[in-house]
Amino acid sequence: MKKKLLSLVLAGSVAASMAAIAATSASALIDPDGSYTPGEGIETKRVYFTMPDSWKNSYTNTAGCYWWAGTDACGAIDGSGGSLAWPGYKAKYDASLEDKGVKTLYYLDIPADVPTVVWNNYIDGGMDESAPQYTAATQCKDSACEYLSEGDVDIYDDQDGFWEEMEDSFNGDKAALGSFADNFFKSEYGIAFTMDNLIWVPDLTHTDTSISGKITYYGNWYFYYGDGTYGTYPTKEAAQEKGTVVDLSVSVEPTTTPATNPTSSTDPTTVAPTTAPATPATTDPSASAIATTPTSSNNDATSAVGAKASTADTAKSTTSDNGSVKTGAASLAVILLVVLSGAGSVVYFTRRRNSK
């Protein structure tokens, strides 16, 4: 009877350990390079970024991507992310076009429900303005990454007939939409397109100053053609006709000048946003693409309705030698606790058996 009981205890411990491991594996992962890797079953969209060479310095040679809402949000504001603070996730470097001179291209496959990202040069500048890393840290303004429609960005609105042409093609043979045909849909504001496989290009001539005194850079989403070039039309041929194609191998310091940017920003370079947007960000394509940004007023991450975010799986984070942040330490602790409990049970029942 004792042997059967001991076997049941051990079997239960193993099962609990496996369940804990499975739960951990289903969440977001930080790969060996320090970049974000979505968990199993998470729908994603790929977004590109071109980081100016001037943003590299002795503290960084790569780009970062931060989001405060949506799946696996940095700061766990919605309860699903880790304790990952600013500057967020390390972006993946695309080296496939280095032989063509393209050395500023980065990307991430982010959850499809992420409404806004903040591209940066992967440095936590801190709050001390006298510290060298404070001035070394660079970031863009918040960039809404759900979709764009007429009235959101001047670079598309100012192209005579752009939206009408896109809608006509959407309703017809979709030839003018090229490989981005699946990006287009009809929203309550008319024809619109999502940011899947688009590239965010910062404009070094168009800046703003945050409330903490940091310079932030405007920019815009462009259609990326996969060959190191981007433009303002879904097909490269149409963009060439309009004269809007830009080659990343030539333009390593982007200087295109959009008149407006649809989002505003506080400055998470100094600290990660710690409170939720005043209005919950939405992933419904029928809603506006303009996202409300968070403010940093305290150290408690809160949800959009004011409830404190869950920290059950994010009680502690550790930093690796390369500066990447690893999440899920609490889950690991749970696994160890279960295993130790099983081992303790073995010792207990073994002692009882030997004492009789």
For the stretch 133-179, pLDDT in tens is 999 999 999 999 999 999 999 999 999 999 999 999 999 999 999 99
Give me the helix-helix angle, 329-354 and 2-25, nearest 10°.
170
Q: Is residue 32 part of a domain?
A: no
For the stretch 268-297, pLDDT in tens is 333 333 333 333 333 333 333 333 333 333
The predicted model gives 57-86 an average pLDDT of: 79
What are residue 95's phi and psi, to 5 degrees? -95, 5
Q: Is residue 350 part of a domain?
A: no
pLDDT score recorded for residue 290: 31
Other residues' Cβ atoms within 10 Å of the Cβ of residue 119: 30
Q: Is residue 207 part of a domain?
A: yes
Count of structural domains within the chain: 1
- CA gap 5, 352 in Å, rounded: 12
Q: Is residue 92 part of a domain?
A: yes
Q: Which residues, including other chains, have CB under 8 Å from residue 146's CB and lie 6 or more apart? A: 115, 194, 195, 282, 283, 285, 287, 289, 291
> Does position 202 have pLDDT exceeding 60, yes or no?
yes
For the stretch 116-135, pLDDT in tens is 999 999 999 988 889 999 99
pLDDT score recorded for residue 83: 63
For the stretch 223-255, pLDDT in tens is 999 999 999 999 999 999 999 999 999 865 544
Q: Is residue 295 part of a domain?
A: yes
Whole-prediction pTM: 0.67
The predicted model gives 78-97 an average pLDDT of: 79
What is residue 214's three-state secondary structure? coil
Q: Is residue 178 part of a domain?
A: yes
CB 24 within 8 A of CB 338: no
Domain holding 206, by residue range, is: 38-310
Q: Is residue 9 part of a domain?
A: no
pLDDT score recorded for residue 251: 62
Cis before 202 (ω within 30): no
- CA gap 108, 63 in Å, rounded: 10
pLDDT score recorded for residue 252: 52
Q: Is residue 163 part of a domain?
A: yes
> Does position 258 have pLDDT exceeding 70, yes or no?
no
DSSP string, 38-91: PPTT--EEEEEEE--GGG-BTTBSS-EEE-SSSTT-GGGTTSSS-S--TT-EEP
> Does position 334 have pLDDT exceeding 80, yes or no?
no
The predicted model gives 27-39 an average pLDDT of: 80
